[in-house]
Amino acid sequence: MSNAQLTHLESLQAFLTARIAPARALGVTVAATDPVTISAPLEGNLNDKGTGFAGSLFSVAALAGWALITRWCAAADIDAEVALQSSKVRFLAPARGEFRAIAHELPDKQREKLARMLTRSGRGRAEVVVDVTCNEALVMSFTGAYAVTAIPREEMAPEEILPGE
């Protein structure tokens, strides 16, 4: 699948379900794309305390950051691989229901820098802030640094190139 297909909610959902095995196992859903919002139900993500498991909260946050950058690349017509490099997280309150990771848009300066780096060297880096909320309360804050590597079009399999490209 080309990144170009990931701008819409349904295609992003289909991609997560098809290509990221834990997204299926944990019941992850793309709730919105503006802002990018990834949710998961409490059931299936319960810990020993009857609240959302830390690893599941991290997972939805990491996916939200990944989806934000991947969609930005798609909108800029860049096929790219996006991978989490490092992250800092704080767990602020227990999640006692469905939880949602909402990715903050990249500041203009960071977006311009990423575009410049990708044009110059095919590689870039961006830091994404994600809030995980439950019933309107902030339960986790996440900052993730993502590495972005442009994929030259000739490296793509023919079936991955969209008609008309």
How many of the other CB atoms lie within 10 Å of CB of 152? 8
How near is the Cβ of 37 to a copy of itself at its closest, in Å?
A: 16
DSSP H helix total and E strand total for the chain: 4, 6
Residue 133 as a binder of a copy of itself (CB under 8 A): the answer is: no
Applying CB under 8 A, the span of 47-55, 72-80, 106-114, 156-164 interacting with a copy of itself comes to 47-55
Size of the site for a copy of itself (CB under 8 A): 34
Buried/exposed code over 40-59 (b: 16+ C-beta within 10 A; e: otherwise) = bbbeebeeeeebbbeebbbb
Q: Which is nearer to a copy of itself, 100 or 120 (CB)?
A: 100
Find the binding residues for a copy of itself in span 5-44 (CB under 8 A).
15, 19-22, 25-26, 43-44
Q: Which is nearer to a copy of itself, 26 or 114 (CB)?
A: 26
Burial of 159 (0-12, 13-18, 19+ CB in 10 A): exposed
φ/ψ of residue 145, rounded to 5: -100, 120
Q: 76-95: which residues touch a copy of itself (CB under 8 A)? A: 81, 83-91, 94
CB 75 within 8 A of CB 36: no
Q: Indicate which single residue of 2, 5, 17, 47 sits in contact with a copy of itself (rule: CB under 8 A).
A: 47
123 binds a copy of itself per the rule CB under 8 A: no
- Torsion angles phi and psi, residue 90, rounded to 5: -130, 130
In 3-state terms, what secondary structure has residue 3?
Answer: helix
- The residues binding a copy of itself (CB under 8 A) are 15, 19-22, 25-26, 43-49, 53-56, 58-60, 62-63, 81, 83-91, 94
